[in-house]
């Protein structure tokens, strides 16, 4: 006989950066594990130090970090944590990114521009990530930027079932805020049995977050409209789309988005909007100033936990969303 046989079982370890500890704890609770104790702090000059308090040798490691503000700090911390796991002899490293930073920079619109979403994927791969698990990427093509498995999770069942249980479905119209979201809105229509409408917009290519709404395509007169998007940043696009729907006779407007980025003037825009409810998931922490009655935050932790368990047990992540 040559070699040595082992009888050890697979071991899962769950790690978290400092960006969104509440979500990490919620996912860990769903999994029935604890978050591995980690020593992490910033040096005086801003450099980040990380050291895990437990051995990760031979373990299947899952590292969660959402790219919230300040985004560059948390991206860098995640890269450092991946490198630390690689050098700690982890068996595998799965990076969980509930909100994938720089996802909107997924292609070149004009010359001399970067494709930053690809750069983020390259950095994670170089740092040592074996797999990426993300929620509602801005575009599907980002999956191809990473040279390895990418598990793309969807918040649609969570959001759609919440809205469907609240409203009269006979009066419901699903609205895409632009042409790019039509495919997602179509899936909402299939799940809720509702018709589709589209808000046509034009974005100023020279001014960030500047949108002009032109027209509404579809019947929204007297309807309850649910605007579906992947993220809301400053709120300009979605609030302008809602105003257009009200101008075309909509009875009510509900806005849903997976990622509530909510930066800059978003707080004032959401507060002053005629939209009756904004529904997000907790892929990103909600700013304290936006704890409003009209904002509802649903937990994405059960979805992430189910996907993590499927990955660890060599199951099928796709099966979680087959009903779509």
**Catalytic option among 107, 201, 205, 294:** 201
Q: Is 144 annotated as a binding residue?
A: no
Say whether 223 counts as a known binding-site residue. no
Find out whether 209 is annotated in a ligand binding site: no
Tokens found for residue 202: 């034009």
17 is in an annotated binding site: no
Q: How far apart are CA 108 and CA 12, in angstroms?
A: 39
Residue 274 catalytic?
no
272 is in an annotated binding site: no
Known binding residue 282? Answer is no
Was 203 annotated as part of a binding site? yes
- Asked if 311 contacts 292 with a C-beta cutoff of 8 angstroms, the reply is no
8 in a known ligand binding site? no
Q: Tell whether 46 is in a known binding site.
A: yes
The residues with which 96 forms a beta bridge, in sequence order, are 64, 133
233 labelled ligand-binding: yes
The annotation status of 105 as a binding-site residue, yes or no, is yes
- Known binder of ligand: residue 131? no
User: Looking at the annotation, which residues are catalytic?
Assistant: 201
Annotated binding site for D-ribose 5-phosphate: 203, 229, 233-237
Annotated binding site: 45-47, 104-105, 138, 178, 203, 229, 233-237
Annotated binding site for Mg(2+): 138, 178
Annotated binding site for ATP: 45-47, 104-105
């Amino acid at each position: 006989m040559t070699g040595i046989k082992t009888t050890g079982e697979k071991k899962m370890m769950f790690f978290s950066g400092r960006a969104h500890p509440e979500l990490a704890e919620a996912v860990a609770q769903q999994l029935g594990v604890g978050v591995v104790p980690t020593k992490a702090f910033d040096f005086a000059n801003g450099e980040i130090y990380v050291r895990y308090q437990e051995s990760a040798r031979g373990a299947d490691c899952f590292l969660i970090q959402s790219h919230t503000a300040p985004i560059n700090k948390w991206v860098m911390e995640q890269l450092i944590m991946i490198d630390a796991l690689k050098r700690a002899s982890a068996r595998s490293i799965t990076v969980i990114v509930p909100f994938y930073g720089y996802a909107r920079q997924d292609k070149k619109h004009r010359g001399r521009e970067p494709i930053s979403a690809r750069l983020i994927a390259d950095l994670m791969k170089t740092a040592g990530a074996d797999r990426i698990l993300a929620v509602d990427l801005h575009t599907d093509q980002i999956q191809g930027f990473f040279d390895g498995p990418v598990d793309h999770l969807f918040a649609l069942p969570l959001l759609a079932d919440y809205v469907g249980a609240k409203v009269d479905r006979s009066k419901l119209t699903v609205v895409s805020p632009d042409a790019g979201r039509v495919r997602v809105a179509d899936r909402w229509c299939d799940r809720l049995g509702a018709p589709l409408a589209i808000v046509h917009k034009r974005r100023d290519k020279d001014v960030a977050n500047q949108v002009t709404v032109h027209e509404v395509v579809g019947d929204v007169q007297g309807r309850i409209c649910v605007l579906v998007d992947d993220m809301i940043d400053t709120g300009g696009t979605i609030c302008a789309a809602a105003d257009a729907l009200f101008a075309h006779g909509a009875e009510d407007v509900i806005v849903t988005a997976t990622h509530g980025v909510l930066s800059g003037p978003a707080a004032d825009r959401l507060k002053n909007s005629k939209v009756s409810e904004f529904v997000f998931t907790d892929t990103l922490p909600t700013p304290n100033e936006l704890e409003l009655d009209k904002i509802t935050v649903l937990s994405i932790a059960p979805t992430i936990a189910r996907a993590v368990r499927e990955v660890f047990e060599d199951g099928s992540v796709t099966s979680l969303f087959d009903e779509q």
